[in-house]
Amino acid sequence: MVLERKHYELLARLDSGRGGFDQSELRLALTMLNLEHDHLYLDEKNARECIKRIRLAIEGQNRTMTTIVQEFMDIKKSTNLDAMSYLVGSLSSIRSIYMLDILVGLLTDSGREARA
C-alpha cells in the first residue's frame, strides 16, 4: 500500500472535524489529496479554509472512487479482462495519492481472489 494507517486516521480526523491540526498535518493531508499548498501560510482563518478544502476533496474523491469500484465490481462479475480494461480507462479520474491507494488496494484484493 502507498499510504499507512496513520495517513487514513489523519484524513478521518480532518473529515470528522475532531481535534486541532498543526501545519505539518494539514500540509500532509493536502499532499495526499493533491491539493495546492506550496505557498500556504496557516493562521486560524486559513486553517479553517484549508480544512474545508480538505473535506470537500475527500468527499469528491470518495464519490469518484465509489463509482469506479462499484462499476469495476459489476463488470468483474462477467469477466476480469473487461473489468481491468474499465480500470485502465478510468485512470484519468485518479487525482491523488489517496485515490491511487484505494485503487491499488482494490487490485491487490482482486489479484488475491483470482489466485485463490
pTM value is 0.85
C-alpha cell read off for 28:
500532509
Q: By the 8 A CB rule, do 29 and 10 touch?
A: yes
Domains of the chain, by residue range, sit at 5-115
Q: How confident is the model at residue 41 (pLDDT cuts 50, 70, 90)?
A: confident
Q: How confident is the model at residue 115 (pLDDT cuts 50, 70, 90)?
A: low
Q: By the 8 A CB rule, do 7 and 73 touch?
A: no
Q: What is the mean pLDDT of residues 47-61?
A: 92
> If you ran DSSP here, which 8-state letter would residue 3 be given?
S
Closest by CA position to 19, among listed 27, 28, 10: 10
* pLDDT tens digits, 79-107: 999 999 999 999 999 999 999 999 998 88
Q: Where are the alpha helices (DSSP H) in the chain?
A: 5-16, 23-32, 44-76, 80-90, 97-115
**How high is the pLDDT of residue 48?**
85
**12: pLDDT strictly greater than 70:** yes
Q: How confident is the model at residue 36 (pLDDT cuts 50, 70, 90)?
A: confident
